[in-house]
Amino acid sequence: MSERLEQLFWDEASIEVAAGHGGAGAISFRREAFVTRGGPDGGDGGRGGDVVLVADRGLASFLGFRGRPLWEAEDGKAGTSRNCTGRSAEDLVIRVPVGTVVRDALQGNVLKDLNEDGLTLIVAKGGLGGHGNAYFATATRRTPRFAQPGLPGERRKLRLDLKLIADVGLVGLPNAGKSTLISRLSALRPKIADYPFTTLQPALGVVAIDAGKSLTLADLPGLIEGAHEGHGLGDRFLRHIERTRVIAHLVDVGASAEMEPLQAVRVIERELAAFSSTLASKPRLLVATKVESEEAEELARALATELKREILLISSATGRGLGELKGALWKAVGEVAESGTASV
């Protein structure tokens, strides 16, 4: 995979986070005019800032992490005289896309799945401030000449993986018509061209069904044979499909199709099954695209007969069948929601 293509994904990130150190306690004694016996008055240090991840539905990738491998929170301020506590540092808030799976990079364990907008995770806790010498004064130790340093903040390396969360995931071979379809059903305007791998980044579009009803569709890069082993754009995008409730499998039956429809269906089905049992068992609709001629319609009907499956016939160019497709997707997603089947 070329370096240029690698830079376009931004659905993975490795970062190091460092919470702030606690401020040092102060060593100080009261010295005021007309006060003959000034005692210790060194204040405590402030707390170091935490590092907090927050899921934000307004983000779609880790592009903002480019060129910033280390994220450091501020240190707490040192205590001062007159029993003044040092200022505690502000927490460092890092916003990540909804669907971010947070792992400890060294241990490999999942710390949290930030799969809802607003979910938070403290990934590094700031150190506590040290006590000043006033804290240590007692009846028998009236002039302590020592204080505590602040405690260090936590530091850890993280692995962030993004799994898009959508109602429907569009899959198919390159140029099956996924980007054109989502541009017709939603306000999303992905790049569309007549060469493979036009779509290089997964993206979400919102499809209005009727008043108060909508679905989210994930436009995913085309798959090729061997995708589960990393061929083509590889398995980096198969994992995004795991989060969808329903799969819409698009197969090109138009004159521009580069593969016979039955073979195209079987290639994608094998790749989904080879990647995980979750994908193999996920509900899906078979959709014949580019049905703009009698020959294309005959191919679609023959495919349905061969597979003994219902197939939806659409044309994004003419609008044929798009209303029926939206209705079928809404029904399928509703059935999954009623059954209580959860996305991964």
Rounded distance between C-alpha atoms, residue 219 and residue 166, angstroms: 10
pLDDT-wise least confident of 65-74, 111-120, 253-262: 253-262
For residue 38, the tally of other CB atoms under 10 A from its CB is: 12
Within 13 Å, how many C-alpha atoms sit on residue 268's CB side? 26
Question: How high does pLDDT run on average in the chain?
Answer: 84
- Class of residue 108 by CB neighbours under 10 A (exposed 0-12, middle 13-18, buried 19+): exposed
Residue 203 in this model has a pLDDT that exceeds 50: yes
Higher pLDDT pick, 221 / 192: 221
Residue 231 in this model has a pLDDT that exceeds 50: no
**pLDDT tens figures, 85-133:** 999 999 999 999 888 999 999 999 999 999 899 999 999 999 999 999 9
The single-letter DSSP state of residue 40 is B
Rounded distance between C-alpha atoms, residue 187 and residue 194, angstroms: 21
> Helix 261-275 vs helix 294-307: angle between axes, to the nearest 10 degrees?
50
Please say whether the dihedral angle defined by the alpha carbons of residues 321, 324, 330 and 331, taken in this order, is positive or negative. negative
The whole-number average pLDDT for the span 38-56 is 95
pLDDT-wise least confident of 92-96, 190-194, 261-265, 326-330: 190-194
Higher pLDDT pick, 277 / 200: 277
Nearest to 168 by CA among 190, 193, 185, 187: 185
- Class of residue 246 by CB neighbours under 10 A (exposed 0-12, middle 13-18, buried 19+): buried
Buried b (16+ CB within 10 A) or exposed e, 278-296: ebeebebbbbbbbbbeeeb
Label residue 212 by pLDDT band (50, 70, 90). confident
Type of residue at 153: G
Q: How many Å separate Cα 260 from the centre of its chain?
A: 35
**pLDDT tens figures, 1-29:** 334 334 344 678 999 999 999 999 999 99
| 306 token code pair | 């061969």
Per-residue model confidence (pLDDT) at position 226: 45
Helix (H, G, I), strand (E, B) or coil at 225: coil
Share of the chain above pLDDT 70, in %: 83
What domains can be seen in the chain, in order of their start residue? Answer: 7-162 (2.70.210.12), 168-339 (3.40.50.300)
Per-residue model confidence (pLDDT) at position 137: 93
Per-residue model confidence (pLDDT) at position 274: 83
Helix (H, G, I), strand (E, B) or coil at 329: helix
Rounded distance between C-alpha atoms, residue 88 and residue 21, angstroms: 10
User: pTM for this one?
Assistant: 0.71
CB 104 within 8 A of CB 36: no
**pLDDT tens figures, 298-338:** 999 999 999 999 999 999 999 999 999 999 999 999 998 88
Per-residue model confidence (pLDDT) at position 172: 85
The DSSP annotation for 303-316 comes to HHHHHT--EEE--T
